[in-house]
Chains A and B, each alone.
Chain A
Amino acid sequence: MDLTRRKLLKMGMLSVCGTMIPLGALEIFKPEALASSLVHPYSQKKRWAFVVDTTKCVGCGMCVKTCKLENEIPFDAEVQRTWIERYVLTKKGDVLIDSPHGDRYGFTKNDPEGHDLKDEDTLKGFFVPKLCNHCEKPSCVQVCPVGATYKTDDGVVLVDRKWCIGCGYCITNCPYFARFFHPVFNTAEKCTFCYHRISKGLKSACVDACAFGVRKIGMLNDPDSEVFKIITTQRTAVLKPEFGNEPHVFYLGLDHIVR
């Protein structure tokens, strides 16, 4: 008799839990869904991708400024959807990295990390623009407890400002720190590739703002797009591939000191 009661209690709890789980959650039990393709799958998919040619970047920060204004991130707030990092290798062998104010005011002095460097003290240096990598397997989306962030059919990762609870789990799970809390809406915020622009045939605001041709956006499967041409003919790299997110911002001229 005790056993049946215990059974019933268990069944009751199970059915309560069970009804709360949407059917889609059971996907985890499908082995073929788990078997990820071992070869990198950029190819036929109608999907947005981004190319950053770091060899051309001068660090003027016009893209950062434009992005902040286009996307309504309060200009003075120390958070940004895109930013530029400066890497300088000195003759002493130090690697100096900085990104003051995300470079929204531009790099105008040779003062990485506040060191006043003479020109002859630097061996090499370059700028690396960063933005959300719109991963194929975004860990930030995976960990959202409420489904407030998601990947669109064309591969862009967005945040639902009306549904986000502000727990910060997605921010913690982004290897690139592309996410932050919006100072006004108090919800998770990130680069959208300017989804409102690219869906209308425009280019992302940062791409338009770059006079040096550093940034390019296009469809992965569109043979006419510059993105397709670069990815299929040149040697590109992605940031932090070891996390398994399959980032879709491709870099030209990346260096091993880039973080």
Chain B
Amino acid sequence: MDLGHVHGELWTVKTLFTYPNEYIYWTIHIVIYPFITGLVAGAFVLSSLYHVFGKDELRPVAKFSLVFSLALLFIAPTPLLFHLLQPQRAINTMLTPHFYSAIAAFNLVYLGYMAIVISEIWFAYREYIVQQSQSRTGVFKLIYSALTLGSTDISEATLKTDHKIVKILAAIGIPAACMLHGYVGFIFGSVKTVPLWKTPLMPFIFLISAVISGVSICIVTYIIGMKLSKIIVDNETVQSMCKALKWFLVVAFVLEAIDLVFHAYLAEESWDILSDVLFERFGFRMFVVQWGFGMILPLILLTIPGIKTLRAFIAGALVLMGVFMMRWDVVIGGQSMSRSLAGFLDYHMPILPTSFEAFKEGLSAVIILLSAPFVLLYLLNLLFPVFQGQRLVKREPEKS
């Protein structure tokens, strides 16, 4: 065993004066974690827009975004397990939680939220589950029978109750989703040693960017899903989603801009080096990629009237990329300036899995983690068809 190897050395390049123990300790997984959690919150809020506020044009994606939210929710804590140096001890956070720590409440927030999402799915799909448990055979019959929880009553009255409960759960779910992600923002905002993170705006910035990324991934996945299953894309649905995305984009942009303006105007001790990080080292990434291509360009695309599928798809994909970049810029950018205020740390993500650590902290793990929700969505879709019960307008097969 190489005893000289230090966690952080592999991907950190130091320049000028940094403390000897200073490395980028929070790496790519802490970028992915808020990204996926944000998608969860955003997707759930989208489904709630239909259930609670009765936005009927969102009906085709209501169930889809709900189930997708669950798929993402299952994956959300895995980046954290990758990040921990002692993942087998993750259970300790539940055994002896220290609630003075911002991250100790994660389990409660996470499990509480999961209970809400799973319950809502159960009520939303109960009729389908009962029907399937009676009509299917083999393994699926077993699964569906277990999922009925022993209640096969699908009379008019019970279904009405189900609808009411779904509505209630969706309503409870909105503040819960906001908490889940606002809380992630708090984890960063409460770190007093990192000037870039230390702002009370952090929970709100994270929350709004969560919503835009969640709506975007629903737009993108919905369009892809429709194309794959050769169903005509409901333009009204897409337009409605785009409208929501547009307004949240404006709020997100304003919040991020206010944050930057305050840092610059207050010009505290750290601003010299912070501005160097933001404008020089992260300048292109932040202002061109994250703001330009991730917010302003999609905003223009969404503002021009007469949105069609392709434009919505491009805008959604750009926003997703922008939000991922934002997570990167916040997490890595915050650590890129030395706490000595006299040096820099550059992050170079390991690409090739040349060692276990390079695998665990590198590109391979990223690909696995980012594709896992889609695999899970595919599996969940087998049990809970997400596009069931909508206008199934099959395309005419083209004649050759």
Task: State A113–B1 Cα separation when bound (angstroms).
Answer: 31
Contacting chain B: which of A170-178, A221-229, A230-238, A246-254? A170-178
Question: Is B400 in the interface zone, CB < 8 Å from A?
Answer: no
| Closest A residue to B96 using CB positions | A147
Contact residues, A1-57 vs B (CB, 8 A): 2, 5-6, 9, 13, 16-17, 20-22, 25, 28
- Rounded to whole angstroms, the CA-CA distance of A74 and B3 in the bound complex is 6
Which of A144, A147, A187 is most buried by chain B, counting CB atoms within 10 A of its CB?
A: A147
Asked if A167 is at the interface of the complex by the 8 Å CB criterion, the answer is: yes
Closest residue of chain B to A97 (Cβ to Cβ) is B17
Residue pair A145, B3 in contact (C-beta under 8 Å): no
B101 to A83, Cβ gap below 8 A?
A: no
B200: shortest Cβ distance to chain A, in Å?
A: 17
* B22 adjacent to A177 (CB under 8 Å): yes
Determine if B92 and A144 form an interchain contact, defined as CB atoms under 8 angstroms apart. no
- Is residue A120 within 8 Å, beta carbon to beta carbon, of the partner chain? no
Known A2-B164, A142-B101, A168-B25: A175·B85 in contact at CB below 8 Å: no
User: Is A77 within 8 A of B3, CB to CB?
Assistant: yes
> Chain A, 125-159, contact with B by CB distance < 8 Å: what is the 0/1 string?
00000100000000100111111100000000000
Contact indicator B84/A167 (Cβ below 8 Å): yes
Q: Are A77 and B6 in contact (CB under 8 A)?
A: yes
Contact A77 to B19, CB < 8 A, known contacts A13-B115, A146-B92, A146-B98: no
Stretch at the interface among B36-44, B138-146, B336-344, B391-399: B336-344
Total number of B residues with any Cβ neighbor in A under 8 Å: 55
* B9 contacts A78, C-beta separation under 8 Å: yes
Is A69 interfacial (CB-CB < 8 Å)?
no
Does B191 contact A176, Cβ atoms closer than 8 Å?
A: no
Contacts of A113 on B, CB cut-off 8 Å?
Answer: 16-17
Whether a CB of chain A sits under 8 angstroms from the CB of B8 is yes
Given that A165-B86, A173-B191, A177-B19 are known contacts, is A183 also in contact with B93, CB under 8 Å in the complex?
Answer: no
Chain A positions within 8 Å of B21 at CB level: 79-80, 83, 171, 177-180
CA distance A173 to B192 in the complex (A): 7
Residues from 1 to 31 in B contacting A, C-beta threshold 8 Å: 1, 3-9, 16-17, 19-23, 25-26
Contact A145 B84 (CB under 8 A): no
Contact across chains for A187 and B85 when beta carbons are under 8 A apart: yes
Give the size category of A's interface with B: 35 or more
Q: Which of chain A's residues 169-204 have a Cβ closer than 8 Å to chain B?
A: 169, 171-181, 183-184, 186-187
Q: Is the CB of A172 within 8 A of B191?
A: yes
A66 at the interface (CB under 8 A from B): no
Judged by a CB distance under 8 angstroms, whether B100 is at the interface is yes
The distance from the CB of A68 to the nearest CB of chain B, in whole angstroms, is: 11
Cβ contact of B192, chosen from A17, A179, A184, A243, cutoff 8 A:
A243
Whether B54 sits at the interface, judged by CB under 8 Å, is no
B164 proximity list for chain A (CB < 8 A): 2
Q: Would you call A209 an interface residue if the criterion is a C-beta within 8 Å of the partner chain's C-beta atoms?
A: no
Contact pick for A186, options B3, B26, B86, CB 8 Å: B86
Tell me whether A163 and B103 are in contact (CB under 8 A).
no
Known contacts A99-B20, A169-B102; 18 additional CB pairs below 8 A are A13-B112, A25-B99, A74-B4, A80-B20, A83-B21, A95-B342, A97-B16, A99-B17, A143-B101, A165-B89, A167-B84, A172-B26, A173-B192, A177-B22, A177-B339, A181-B8, A259-B17, A259-B341
**A: which residues have CB within 8 A of B?**
2, 5-6, 9, 13, 16-17, 20-22, 25, 28, 74, 76-80, 83, 85, 95, 97-99, 101-102, 113, 130, 139, 142-148, 163-169, 171-181, 183-184, 186-187, 243, 259
What are 30 sample pairs from A and B whose C-beta atoms fall under 8 A apart?
A: A20-B108, A21-B97, A21-B99, A76-B4, A77-B4, A78-B9, A80-B20, A98-B17, A101-B20, A130-B19, A142-B101, A146-B97, A146-B98, A164-B86, A165-B87, A166-B84, A166-B85, A166-B89, A169-B101, A176-B339, A177-B22, A178-B21, A180-B7, A181-B25, A183-B5, A183-B6, A184-B3, A187-B86, A259-B17, A259-B341
A-B residue pairs, 8 tightest by C-beta: A166-B85, A76-B4, A74-B3, A97-B17, A177-B19, A259-B340, A145-B104, A102-B20
